[in-house]
């Protein structure tokens, strides 16, 4: 990533950062505009300044104006309750480059834009956010800060990185757990295409360190539906291993295996109190952001 402000003077870098900034702004502002036209009207205010009333809270702390809009009891957050550091962990391994449709988003494109939107959203709310990118091991680490200028660093890092290297999730998550000394919220963006047992061990390390964890499991729809027709040559993008098969003959078994793969993550994350969200690159960004806000609100 750029090591200082002068590195951003490169026109190509400036163009990449500006483009990602506009995408993030478009996603976030469109999302909030949608909220105001939906049953979630008022949620953006609640997210930034309030939390749900729980037994034991003082009655005088209830915000009755929010109650009037939502018919739900919320209390104003104290400053300390809003400053939970959030770290965005983005998988940059070669498998994230996959896209079935030539003009569609790759898993890397989707993860990058979603992470950028979340970073934009958090810094707009003056919440500290940091970034960790990884493949075989950690690539870069940006500490959590809440200043607007920090968003440029986050977007610069996301826009400059390209998929490459094999997936080593356990090692990367273990390194992240060592880096993140203070309890915070960790949001992982990955296709999780690694041995589930080792991935879950890495996630458990983060939970052991008292971090709250949200996993966005991002796949291409072709990886879940297997729509291929006719004799097809498949190649592993990380190992270059090839196999030629008739999709019709293996489709049912493939889908069953994929569902078992996803269910294993769902069940294991639930047992570990890890929020698990499975999605494809065709999932609207506003749906993903709403999932993030709802789940983050539970953590605050």
d(CA 86, CA 11): 30
Instruction: Classify 83-299 by CATH class.
Output: alpha beta
Confidence of residue 207 (pLDDT cuts 50, 70, 90): very high
Q: Where are the domains of the chain?
A: 43-76, 83-299
Place of tokens 């959203």: 121
pTM: 0.78
Distances (CA, A) of 186 to 166, 173, 180, 227, 263: 22, 10, 9, 34, 22
Structure tokens at 7: 């590195």
Please report the beta strands in 116-272, taking only residues with DSSP state E, as ranges in sequence order.
129-134, 138-145, 185-190, 212-219, 232-235, 242-245
Tokens 């003082």 belong to: 58
Cα distances from 53 to residues 16, 46, 166, 179, 261, in angstroms, run 43, 12, 46, 34, 38
22-44 pLDDT per residue, tens: 777 767 766 656 544 444 444 44
Report the SS3 class of residue 42: coil
Q: For residue 204, give the H/E element and its range.
A: helix 196-208
Tell me: pLDDT of 156 over 80.
Answer: yes
**Comparing 79-88, 185-194, 225-234, which segment has the lowest mean pLDDT?**
79-88
Which residue in 56, 60, 58, 50 sits closest to 81, CA to CA? 50
What are the tokens at 215?
A: 């996993």
Which of 63-72, 169-178, 183-192 is predicted with the least confidence, judged by mean pLDDT?
63-72
CA angle 251, 255, 259 (to 5 degrees): 175
What H or E segment, with its residue span, contains residue 50?
strand 50-52
pLDDT at residue 294 greater than cutoff 80: no
Average pLDDT on 205-216 reads 94
Would you state the pLDDT for residue 300? Answer: 56
């Amino acid at each position: 990533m750029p090591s200082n402000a002068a590195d951003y003077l490169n026109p190509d870098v400036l163009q990449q950062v500006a483009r990602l900034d506009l995408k993030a702004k478009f996603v976030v502002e469109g999302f909030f505009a949608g909220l105001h036209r939906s049953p979630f009207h008022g949620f953006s205010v609640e997210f930034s300044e309030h939390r749900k009333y729980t037994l034991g809270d003082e009655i005088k702390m209830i915000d009755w104006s929010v109650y009037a809009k939502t018919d739900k009891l919320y209390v104003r957050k104290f400053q300390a309750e809003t400053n939970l550091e959030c770290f965005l962990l983005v998988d940059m391994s070669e498998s994230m480059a996959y896209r079935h449709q030539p003009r569609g988003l790759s898993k890397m494109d989707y993860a990058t834009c979603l992470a950028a939107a979340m970073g934009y959203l958090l810094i707009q709310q003056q919440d500290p956010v940091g970034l960790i990118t990884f493949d075989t091991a950690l690539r870069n680490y940006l500490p959590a800060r809440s200043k607007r200028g920090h968003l440029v660093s986050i977007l610069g890092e996301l826009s400059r990185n390209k998929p490459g290297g094999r997936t080593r999730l356990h090692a990367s998550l273990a390194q992240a757990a060592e880096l993140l000394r203070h309890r915070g919220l960790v949001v992982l963006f990955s296709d999780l295409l690694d041995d589930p047992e080792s991935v879950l061990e890495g996630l458990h390390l983060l939970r052991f360190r008292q971090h709250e964890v949200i996993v966005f499991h991002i796949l291409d729809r072709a990886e879940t539906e297997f729509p291929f027709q006719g004799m097809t040559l498949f190649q592993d993008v990380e190992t270059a291993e090839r196999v030629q098969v008739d999709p019709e003959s293996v489709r049912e078994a493939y889908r069953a295996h994929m569902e078992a793969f996803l269910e294993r993550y769902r069940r294991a994350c639930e047992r570990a109190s890890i929020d698990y969200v499975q999605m494809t690159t065709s999932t609207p960004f506003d749906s993903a952001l709403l999932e993030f806000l709802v789940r983050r609100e539970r953590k605050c």
